[in-house]
Amino acid sequence: QPSRPNIVFILADDWGWGDLGCFGHRQLRTPHLDRLASQGIRFTQFYSCASVCSPSRAAWLTGQFPGRLSMHGHLAEVELNRQRGIPNFLDPRVPTLARLLKEAGYMTAHVGKWHLGGDSEAPTVLEYGFDYSFATHANEQSKELRGPGFRPRSTEIFVDKTIEFIEKSQDQPFYVQTWLLDTHARLQPTAQQMEPYERLLGATKIYYSAATAADKQIGRLLTRLDELGLADNTIVVFSSDNGPEDIIIANASEHGVGSPGPFRGRKRSLYEGGIRMPLILRWPGVAPAGRVDNDTILCAADFLPTVCALAGISGWTDPAGVHARVDGESMLRSWHGETTTRTRPIFWEWRFGVAGHVINISPMLAVRQGRYKLLMNPDGSRVELFDIPADVSELNNVKDRHPELVSSMSRQLLDCASSLPPGPRT
């Protein structure tokens, strides 16, 4: 079916909601992503499903809230994973978007940061449904991924490999996810990459330079799609895994100045700044160019059912009977430019520490249903209710005005938390 669109999914790392010109940043230059937004839809109420990288990525790939997969935090060394009730890698039996697309006739590829398993016992990236992999934080290592010159060139290298895959796969529908290291530490921009910000100093200069350098390489990928005549039948999606790092974290002096926009919270926080991400989608001839959708509420778990809907994939099953539930829902109408009301709540958990200013330290659980977002701890303490469209910075707790809503959303939140596999509870 040649009309089935190709899909290029670019996922940045620790890149805040406000770190784009088209999302309101007044200094950081992202001309290529701004142009992408002008050619498609900019969604302003899009959520990651976690406030750190590994669980966030699991939701994109599986359509499930990461807690169902025991992905309560980022994957680390084996002993630390054990202590925190976290597996060493994503269960390869879980249905993934890549496997579903591959079975439907797509060529599939993963390029860049993986962080869903990297120890010696972990499955290869290919075992999750990919035909091709060029990955960091996984078994597939390469001499091109090592050495002092790699980090400032990482996005360039990932774009090279993405283009190489596209050129070889263009005769059939393809799906490629290009997951960047930028703007996660350690950032080491070259002197040439820092030239646009020569008047700035310190962390600001380093962070802005790395982000703009990554934007330049994304522009190169978009140009190559044009040159190959593929742009008109290719969906391009850009987002980020979680909010910007806090400058108090070790090594964050080089990247802890990312912008969460107008929101409270940063990475590891369940306030908006930790989980509300930029989302840009270009789909020529389908997604209205220049549209800004301020009303549709989407999350990363919606990606799998939405892509399956547009690719004509339905009725998939989980032969192993492992984690068959999909928490997201198809939001395909919103990709066509229609304001869409979601029917399912979005659930988050973060049961570990939150660094930085006390204002960013959120309760451990959160749920968004309609215009309201409820946060609380598993023991029922610290109940906070916010009317998000009216209070984007989450400064006005309205729980006392809506006791029935607090009661129903609290039950919903605790029921969902209690249904998760064993994991950290304090």
Question: CA–CA separation, 267 vs 258, rounded Å?
Answer: 10
Residues listed for the chain:
426
Question: CA–CA separation, 65 vs 48, rounded Å?
Answer: 10
User: Would you call 379 helix, strand, or coil by DSSP?
Assistant: coil
- Here the tokens at position 212 are 């703009």
pLDDT at 316: 59
pLDDT in tens, 134-152: 988 633 445 556 666 888 9
Tens digit of pLDDT at every position of the chain (426 positions)? 447 999 999 999 999 999 999 999 999 999 999 999 999 999 999 999 999 999 999 999 999 999 999 999 999 889 999 999 999 999 999 999 999 999 999 999 999 999 999 777 899 999 999 999 998 863 344 555 666 688 899 999 999 999 999 999 999 999 999 999 999 988 889 999 999 999 999 999 999 999 999 999 999 999 999 999 999 999 999 999 999 998 877 665 667 899 999 999 999 999 999 999 999 999 999 999 999 999 999 999 999 999 999 999 876 554 444 445 789 999 999 999 999 999 999 999 998 988 788 999 999 999 999 999 999 999 999 999 999 999 999 999 999 999 999 999 999 999 988 888 766 644
Question: CA–CA separation, 186 vs 209, rounded Å?
Answer: 13
- Here the tokens at position 386 are 């916010």
Task: Give the burial class of 310: count Cβ atoms within 10 A of its Cβ; 0-12 exposed, 13-18 middle, 19 or more buried.
Answer: middle
Residue 186, number of CB atoms within 10 A of its CB: 12
Question: CA–CA separation, 103 vs 107, rounded Å?
Answer: 9
pLDDT at 249: 75
The pTM for the full model equals 0.95
Query: On the CB side of 96, how many CA atoms lie within 13 Å of its CA?
Result: 24
pLDDT at 251: 63
pLDDT at 81: 92
pLDDT at 149: 82
pLDDT in tens, 397-418: 999 999 999 999 999 999 988 8
Question: CA–CA separation, 255 vs 249, rounded Å?
Answer: 10
pLDDT at 389: 97
Alpha carbon 134 to its chain's center: 19
